[in-house]
Amino acid sequence: MLRCKHVAEALADKRYWELPLHRRIGLHLHVFLCFLCGRYNRQIMALQDAARHYAAYELAEVPPSEYRLSPEARERIRRKLREET
């Protein structure tokens, strides 16, 4: 019997394309029918979604103080940029 673990391994394996077509279809059929694989897939998708949302958030919102440039670094960069101009 195909187990989720083996399916996941096979799908991620680079030799996947060497498998005969019916084996490949079998793998996808398993993912399609298996609620655990479905759950795993949805979780991955939710995290990818999170990563995308996060990018939008971090470019729009002013960071909290612990994630800001220190005054020293800011001054150093300012000086460097003045030299460059």
* DSSP state, residue 62: P
Residues in contact with other proteins, shown as a per-residue x/- string from 11 to 50 under the rule CB under 8 A: -xxx---------------------x--xx--xx-xxxxx
Taking the C-alpha atoms of residue 6 and residue 29, their distance in angstroms, rounded to an integer, is 14
| Among 1, 32, 59, 71, contact with other proteins (rule: CB under 8 A) | 59
- Answer yes or no: are the C-beta atoms of 39 and 67 closer than 8 Å: no
Angle at Cα 45 formed by Cα 39 and Cα 50, nearest 5°? 125
Taking the C-alpha atoms of residue 40 and residue 7, their distance in angstroms, rounded to an integer, is 12
Quick check: 5 binds other proteins (CB under 8 A)? yes
Task: With CB under 8 A as the rule, give the number of residues binding other proteins.
Answer: 42
| Single-letter amino acid, residue 65 | S
Q: Which residues bind other proteins (CB under 8 A)?
A: 4-5, 8-9, 12-14, 36, 39-40, 43-44, 46-51, 53-55, 57-59, 61-64, 67-70, 73-74, 76-78, 80-82, 84-85
